[in-house]
Structure 1
Amino acid sequence: MSTSPVRTGIVGCGMVAVEYAQTLAAANGIELGVCADLDGARAQSFADRHRITAVPVDHALDPATLDLALILTPPSTHAALARQAIAAGLRAVWIEKPFTTDPEDATALLQLAQRTNMLIGVAPDTMLGTAIQTASEALKQNLVGDVLSATASLFSTGPEGWHPSPEPFYSEHVGPLGDMGPYYLTALDYLLGPLHVRSAICRTRSDRRVGSGPHAGRLFTAQAPTYVTALLDTDTGTPITLITSFDAAGSRAPHLEIHGTDGTLVLPDPNAHDGQVLYLPYGQRTWTPLSPVPSSGPSSRGLGVLDLADALRKAHEPQCSAPRAERIVHLIGAIIRATAPSTTRSRIPAAP
């Protein structure tokens, strides 16, 4: 077991990288030293802000200077960069969600990492936060009884209202299902899984407009479904309804609900690490907030990276595992395939 700080670098200096850098800067046992981006000016600006060194992308995957690389680039680049990190001999890599955009790539990458003994951790890490851990503990204590059903809902206007470069969120294989679906599917798979796909409906509102930044007002075309409804179930036949939409002004629907013979749990947005979990006993009308379980770390992106660094030092598997991330990619692929009339029940790789 090593006691030296885990040397870490960031590849991809976009908006989400800022939160990761802040989390790592406040943590012990990990040292963020370099960053890289295809946009050299953006990398240098990020490096100056966080007092680290900007380097070319190849140098940010160099095991001579790094133990762990964070791949925070657009989803279509995840698989290639992860393979590059494995080929370079890096010890560990953290990949933003989704793991890959193609199920076959996810399976091949997982197998390659296992053959080379590379540790891979994959976002989201919100399942490590207090909200999902509190719900998990309630289910372990049988608070809701036998689980009868669950629902998950994301309704939003899409990222073009706040992100200055929203086009990648609408590229093929992304959209609300590829972008936000991993948060909801990971939470459901962690709490109730493994999951299977029964049927789905998708549609696309293709005309979008950039709402902020230097390109505000520019029109672009969505290549991915912007509305998805999917019917899932578990090994025990529990039905789960998932809705993800970038076509709504807003919603008051709960993000996650789990209904059982003895009561219902309502969970906050799984895009966040914390938040209140509510419980309603069957036959009652008053919702009770559950006491949150103790936090295992900061309530911010990067919590899973800290767990991965700990796994690297102590030689154990990370909690935000690549096998589960592979399952989520297969689930997303199965949902898209299920929109075809001939699609039958889709099987997903078994959970670890």
Structure 2
Amino acid sequence: MTAIPVRVGIIGCGMVAEEYATTLAASPLVRLTTCADADPARATAFGGRHGIPATEPGSVLDPDLIDLAVILTPPHTHHALVLQAIAARVPAVWSEKPLALTPGDAAQLVSEADSARILLGAAPDTTLGPAFLTAHGAVREGRIGTVLSAAATLMSTGPERWHPSPEPFYAQGAGPLGDVGPYYLAALDELLGPLQVHAATAHTRKVRTIRSGPAAGKHFTAQAPTHIAAFLTAADGVPVNLSASFDAAATRTPRIELQGTLGALVLPDPNFHAGDVLFAEYGTFTWNPLTSTGRAPQTTGRGMGVIDLATALTQGTSSACTGARAARIAAVSDAILRAAARPHHALRTPPHQPGTAESPATITKEPTR
């Protein structure tokens, strides 16, 4: 077990690192001690704001300097950096999502960490927030009875509206499924059990335009699908409809909705830790917020999973946001993309000709667009 405070080193000093640093600073359990970034100037600036030294990424991964490595770099770098941290014998490693771009790489990281007796955790940690804990408690206590179905809907205009450098959000392995999808899949995984993929389709609106920052007006090309629809099943065969899009103009669709034999539950955006959880008793059509059973608001924020991992490190227990869960999410995401890329059978109804009997529907086989 590790002494308190747990020494934390951050690799990757971009926008999300600021949120992590704020959350970690509020906890006496951890102490941010060093940072690094591929851009030395960015690391120096981040270190200056938080009163810690900046160094090279490889130098952070030293168990004599840190007890817990937090990797907040672009997705395609996660696999290599987590492997380096495991090889360096850093006692615990936290990775932003996704843990890896392929299920095989994610499974390798889980196996390597287990063999080395290193704690491996991964985002998202929003399932530790008060909103999710309230919803999870309601399902566990049978508030909505037996769960009959679920729907998860991510409808966004895309990060180019607010992020000054959105291109990485559209790289291979990213897009709405890879970037924000893990928040939804993690919530469904913990609410309903492991997910299986049955069918999916995808579409890409390739040309995107940056809307903010110094590059506003610049066009770039999306490499990942920008709209995905999938049909999944969870434990006990519960059907789940998942939509993930960066092509929406606006939406009023609930983020996650569960239908049960006794009622229905609506969760807030799983990309965040807080928000109202709404419950409607069967047949009433009246939605009421449930009383929160989660953590106090001042403890919420990105980085809660790091604090939870540090707790496990100091107490010799298990963490909540495990690498194994992240590997399951990677496998589901990969299966959705593979299902969307396969040819499928489409039901087409020929146009009705006035004055003739209606033509029967025909089934044609065509590739997904």
- TM-score, length-scaled by structure 2: 0.91
- The 2-side partners of 1:31 and 1:53 are apart by 13
Q: Deviations over 1:95-142 (max 9, x none)?
A: 001111111100111101110011111000000111111111111111
Query: 1:4 Cα shift?
Result: 2.5
- The 2-side partners of 1:253 and 1:285 are apart by 16
| Percent of residue pairs bearing the same amino acid type | 53
Letter in 2 for 1:328: I
Is the 2:264–2:281 Cα contact (8 Å) retained in structure 1? yes
How many residue pairs were aligned?
344
Query: 1:343 Cα shift?
Result: 8.0
- Does 2:318 correspond to 1:310? no
Moved over 6 A (4+): none
Which residue of structure 2 lines up, in the alignment, with residue 161 of structure 1? 161
- The 2-side partners of 1:104 and 1:222 are apart by 24
Which residue of structure 2 lines up, in the alignment, with residue 33 of structure 1? 33
Letter in 1 for 2:26: A
Which residue of structure 1 lines up, in the alignment, with residue 200 of structure 2? 200
* Structure 2, gaps ≥5 residues long: 346-369
Letter in 2 for 1:35: C
Which residue of structure 2 lines up, in the alignment, with residue 325 of structure 1? 326
- The 1-side partners of 2:29 and 2:290 are apart by 32
- The 1-side partners of 2:4 and 2:285 are apart by 53
Which residue of structure 2 lines up, in the alignment, with residue 179 of structure 1? 179
Q: Deviations over 1:125-167 (max 9, x none)?
A: 0001111111111111111111110000111111011111111
Which residue of structure 2 lines up, in the alignment, with residue 49 of structure 1? 49
| Structure 2 residue matching 1:101: 3-state secondary structure | coil
- The 2-side partners of 1:103 and 1:26 are apart by 34
Q: Deviations over 1:69-92 (max 9, x none)?
A: 110000000000000111111111
- The 2-side partners of 1:340 and 1:215 are apart by 33
Query: 1:2 Cα shift?
Result: 4.0
Is the 2:199–2:230 Cα contact (8 Å) retained in structure 1? yes
| Structure 1 residue matching 2:228: 3-state secondary structure | strand
- The 1-side partners of 2:336 and 2:8 are apart by 35
Letter in 2 for 1:61: L
Q: Deviations over 1:219-262 (max 9, x none)?
A: 11000000000100013111000101000122000000000111
Measured at CA, do residues 342 and 193 of structure 1 come closer, stay the same or move farther in structure 2, by a change above 3 Å?
farther
- Does 2:62 correspond to 1:62? yes
- The 2-side partners of 1:242 and 1:121 are apart by 25
- The 2-side partners of 1:340 and 1:10 are apart by 36
Which residue of structure 1 lines up, in the alignment, with residue 266 of structure 2? 266
* Structure 1, gaps ≥5 residues long: 345-352
Letter in 2 for 1:323: A
| Structure 2 residue matching 1:64: 3-state secondary structure | coil
**Bigger Cα Rg:** 2
Letter in 2 for 1:263: G
- The 2-side partners of 1:122 and 1:144 are apart by 30
Is the 1:3–1:29 Cα contact (8 Å) retained in structure 2? no
Query: 1:340 Cα shift?
Result: 3.5
Letter in 1 for 2:116: T
Is the 1:337–1:343 Cα contact (8 Å) retained in structure 2? no
Which residue of structure 2 lines up, in the alignment, with residue 299 of structure 1? 300
- The 2-side partners of 1:216 and 1:301 are apart by 28
Query: 1:292 Cα shift?
Result: 0.5
- The 2-side partners of 1:118 and 1:337 are apart by 32
RMSD of Structure 2 on Structure 1 (CA): 1.3
- The 1-side partners of 2:88 and 2:344 are apart by 40
- The 2-side partners of 1:79 and 1:27 are apart by 28
